[in-house]
Structure 1
């Protein structure tokens, strides 16, 4: 791990291992992890832009795309005008 301004930074492989261990232990679900990540991102967005505006959220396939949908939902819930652009057909998603 690397430290940046007192914060531990992990690689993508390390994060996958951390998330896998957390989900494997039953401590947290994938949806809970996505929701926590999305809430943190939305918190940072609201610090930078306190008043709701317009935003486009680009969602790829897989879990990162899921994070994007969570972010879009949470922003819409606090008054943002949200447009979601999905990289793959929405019918392929669970």
Structure 2
């Protein structure tokens, strides 16, 4: 289970890195390409249970949440669902 959580956190982080590094405006091809990955990342994010995280996973999850917060405007501009509550 621990390794699956690590894979999910790594996948989410990777997709978020794509959003962080590409400047707006995105081409339609870029938007479609990342939207598929974003939907998968959201599914993995929702499936995570922080109550069973190791300390390292807790730190990685906190980093992802901070990064999501920083990218909120870009995520919403792209028309993607922002996964964290305000």
TM-score computed with the length of structure 2 as normaliser: 0.35
Bigger radius of gyration = 1
Q: Tell me: higher relative CO, structure 1 or 2? Use CA pairs within 8 A at least 6 residues apart.
A: 2
Say which structure is richer in helix.
2
| TM-score with structure 1 setting the length | 0.32
Higher strand share: 1
